[in-house]
Amino acid sequence: MNLSEEHRLIRQFKRGKADGYRVVFDLYFLVIFQYAKKIVGNADDAYDITSDIFLRLWEIREHFESLAKIRAFLFTASRNACLDFIHRVKVRNAKQEKILDLFLASQDPGTESAQISSELLLLVQQEIDRLPRQCRKVMILYYLRHMTTAAVAAAMRISEKTVSSQRLRGVKKLKIAMKGKTWSLFCLLMPINP
């Protein structure tokens, strides 16, 4: 572009002619977008920043006497907008982290553990309900009601050996059913009865 073409373009641009703005936009938008993307590291944010800068350029178009000054404004405004954006993100992240820390500090330390235990026990209860009738009853009496093998045998009127075999059968079936569903946590919650 020669000097007279640039002067004509700048006159059109300053007067608010769409053709003049389109040429400036086509010359610099992609360059400024790529520059902003390198700084903020995200195409969506870089696009928003670049769009805002071109809007601001349009609003103050009367102040520019050359393409060199437009270019300088675009790069300076882009750098400043990107740095402001990064600062806002850091401040927002710091505030969110502080809120999270305050929330976690305000929680009863046992609350999360109790919730996990409750959810796990619900899952175990659902799996126990799927066991065969006699096996299910042994598992409930032994593990959930904390009865001894002898007490379970007496309550169900079966031998202690049958209680033990039904309990082992139930544990085996639960282990298979709970595979991948926190079997180790299940084991921690199960009481050991004599």
pLDDT tens per residue, range 43-97: 999 999 999 999 999 999 999 999 999 999 999 999 999 999 999 888 877 777 7
The length of the chain in residues reads 194
67-106 and 43-59 helices, crossing angle to 10°? 130
User: Please, which residues have CB within 8 angstroms of residue 158's CB and are 6 or more apart in sequence?
Assistant: 134
Q: Which amino acid is at 180?
A: G
Q: Over the stretch 104-124, which tens digit does the pLDDT of each residue have?
A: 666 555 555 566 666 777 777
**Closest by alpha carbon to 82, among 45, 29, 43?**
45
pTM of the model as a whole: 0.51
User: Please, which residues have CB within 8 angstroms of residue 151's CB and are 6 or more apart in sequence?
Assistant: 141
Query: Is the model's pLDDT at 22 over the cut of 80?
Result: yes
Please report the pLDDT score of residue 121 as a whole number. 72
Give the chain's domains with CATH numbers.
3-104 (1.10.1740), 110-189 (1.10.10.10)
- CA distances 164 to 27, 150, 158, Å, are 83, 10, 11
- CA distances 46 to 31, 57, 89, 118, Å, are 11, 16, 13, 46
